[in-house]
Copies of this chain bind each other. A is one copy, B any other.
Amino acid sequence: MGDIGRRSFLGYSLAGGAVALAAPADTAKTEAPPPPVTRLLARYAVGGQFADIPAAVRREAARTLLNWVGCAIGGSQNETVPIAISALAPFFGPAQATILGRKERADILHAALINGISSHVLDFDDTHMATAIHPAASVVPAILALSEHIPVSGRDFLNAMVLGIEVECRLGAAVHPAHYDIGWHITGTTGVFGAAAAAGRLLKLSEQQMVWALGLAAAQPVGLREMFGSMTKSFHPGRAAQNGLTAALLASKNYTSSGQGIEAKSGWANVVSTQHDYKDIQTKLGKSYLLSENSYKPFASGLVVHPVIDGCIQLRNEYKLKADQIAKIDLRVHRLVLELTDKKSPQTGLESKFSVYHAAAVGITEGAGGEAQFSDRAARAPETVALRGKVTATLDASLKGDQARVVILLQDGRRLEKFVEHALGSVRNPMSDRALETKFLGLADGVLPVARAKQVMEHCWNAANLKEAGAIAKTAAG
């Protein structure tokens, strides 16, 4: 069928008619058919066993869960969250699920949305670096809410979480980087599949139902990179969680979809990307785990300035530095640091995240790089403002992205230097369990009592043994 035929039939639309079912353009081609990607992923999602997941991957799942819950608790206080709640609460269903860090409860679909927003709004959640996906952001809110509605053991929860993240990241890897370069926010566009797969597993979908769930997920991608810097960015993983959960629920009642929602000619991969490579989906599911490559941010800023913060905090701690001892801070940095964070005098917390000068200064004055150090308060703190005027940053083309060189000249003439080879939180230098706990407690500070925050952490570390996974959410209520 020619181009004209495909789009209009001499005044008639073909789109509306069921006639488009049999598209001759497809059948006329002699290309090899694509592998059955949707079915392979569905089969893995319904069949993968917890017993087959290596201990190290299970441990990474617990770390990912802990980090995600902390981010959701901390993010729950951001103005974005009460705005979303106030807009949608009149339409909430029964109070089935917890909104983490808050008193409000919602039906599981809205809880998935709101918790997804909370967990991503601080840009502090986990990252699968090779695909730029935040793996937990859509998967965990979908199944955590579901676990308050139907009985789910901690073991089943973790299994579904791992399977969902693998489906999400394998699919992301299959279309990255072309998909991301087009302008899609891959966390939302693949998150809907991860949420559908994980929720579908807990709903005990058959393989055919899971195929439909993935098809329903394919039809509702969420997220444009254009939205970065607005509240809609965090809406993406939240809505993806809600969409994926909806897809699984519909499929559980045999709401049908395509059998090849991902790989068909007019399926997801061809529509949202210009390239794809299904090899790993065909050969690696259940054999290796992309979750193993997950990473966690130690600092509440863009990743590009993490080496600088890391180096400044290290020098501060080694030499017990005070701001008034310092004459000058010379930074040698990767190209992108100057391209993206050359803001000399940030006036707000958000702006301060785009200032390598602020990042260096606050690393010295406060010895940390959490949300508190990128707040309006911190951006205007006189000692930090004064110190950042003494910071210079110079391109060093020999540096890699997770590297920086920090040189501090003291008033007494001493010269201190730190080369950061792999910034804390990068793949080569991951955050320790202890560091994750410290981050968690910082995020929960002022939201939950310390004792309860510690109980939530304990639930996360011990998730595989929980009788009811929903306890994680219930304990994290504000």
Interface, chain A (partner B; CB < 8 A) = 1, 3, 5-24, 80, 83-84, 86-88, 90-94, 96, 107-109, 123, 125, 127-134, 149, 176-177, 180-188, 212, 215-216, 218-232, 235-236, 239, 246, 249-250, 252-258, 260-261, 264-268, 270-271, 297, 301-304, 306, 334-336, 339-341, 350, 353-354, 400-402, 426-428
**A336: B residues at CB distance < 8 A:** 1, 5, 9, 14, 19
- Bound-state Cα–Cα, A354 to B19, Å: 7
Q: Is the CB of A219 within 8 A of B229?
A: no
Q: Is the CB of A224 within 8 A of B271?
A: yes
- Bound-state Cα–Cα, A222 to B249, Å: 18
Of listed A3, A80, A226, residue having the most chain B CB within 10 A: A226
**A109: B residues at CB distance < 8 A:** 88, 91
**A256: B residues at CB distance < 8 A:** 230-232
**A218: B residues at CB distance < 8 A:** 224, 226
Copy number in the complex reads 2
- Bound-state Cα–Cα, A261 to B239, Å: 17
| Nearest CB on B from A297, distance (A) | 8
Q: Is the CB of B253 within 8 A of A303?
A: no
Given contacts A1-B336, A14-B132, A302-B18, contact A7 B226 (CB under 8 A): no
Q: Is the CB of A16 within 8 A of B428?
A: no
Q: Is the CB of B255 within 8 A of A87?
A: yes
**A20: B residues at CB distance < 8 A:** 225, 228-229
23 pairs, CB–CB < 8 Å, chain A vs chain B: A7-B180, A8-B129, A9-B304, A9-B334, A10-B400, A12-B129, A12-B304, A15-B180, A16-B132, A18-B353, A18-B354, A19-B354, A21-B354, A87-B249, A88-B249, A92-B107, A183-B270, A216-B232, A218-B226, A219-B232, A224-B267, A230-B258, A232-B257
| Nearest CB on B from A382, distance (A) | 25
- Bound-state Cα–Cα, A236 to B195, Å: 19
**A253: B residues at CB distance < 8 A:** 83-84, 86-87
Q: Is the CB of B15 within 8 A of A132?
A: yes
| Nearest CB on B from A66, distance (A) | 18
Of listed A11, A260, A353, A354, residue having the most chain B CB within 10 A: A11
Given contacts A12-B306, A267-B183, A303-B9, contact A219 B228 (CB under 8 A): no
Q: Is the CB of B268 within 8 A of A301?
A: no
**A258: B residues at CB distance < 8 A:** 224, 226-227, 229-230, 232
Q: Is the CB of B229 within 8 A of A21?
A: yes
Q: Is the CB of A304 within 8 A of B17?
A: yes
